[in-house]
Amino acid sequence: MATAPKTGGIHAPVTPSPELAAVVGSEKLPRSQVISKVWDHIKKNNLQNPQNKREILADDKLKKVFGTDKVTMFEMNKHIAKHVKA
């Protein structure tokens, strides 16, 4: 018997705020995809602090999401959560 696709929690589609949409696009995405696209942006733009890889150095787009110049990768999810709605 096939299992139903997961639709809750991290798999539930969310709508990004205009600030977050500048990084991940404006379509509804599962939260896991939002995080993945933010990481793609971080890696593509070389935004990890070379001396401390756990620290993200925000560019202009991410500053609007994080509200600060830098965050740790652990704080990042808290800031992103403020920019998505179910």
Phi, psi angles (nearest 5°) of residue 27: -75, 155
pTM (two decimals): 0.85
- Provide the pLDDT for residue 16: 97
Phi, psi angles (nearest 5°) of residue 41: -65, -45
Q: Torsion-angle region of residue 30: left (phi > 0), alpha (psi -120 to 50) or beta?
A: beta
* Beta-sheet strands, E only, within 17-76: 29-30, 48-49, 52-57, 70-72
- Predicted confidence (pLDDT) per residue in 1-35, tens digit: 555 455 666 678 999 999 999 999 999 999 999 99
Name the strand (E) or helix (H) holding 4. Answer: none
Name the strand (E) or helix (H) holding 13. Answer: strand 13-16
- Mean pLDDT value across residues 79-83: 95
Helix (H, G, I), strand (E, B) or coil at 62: helix
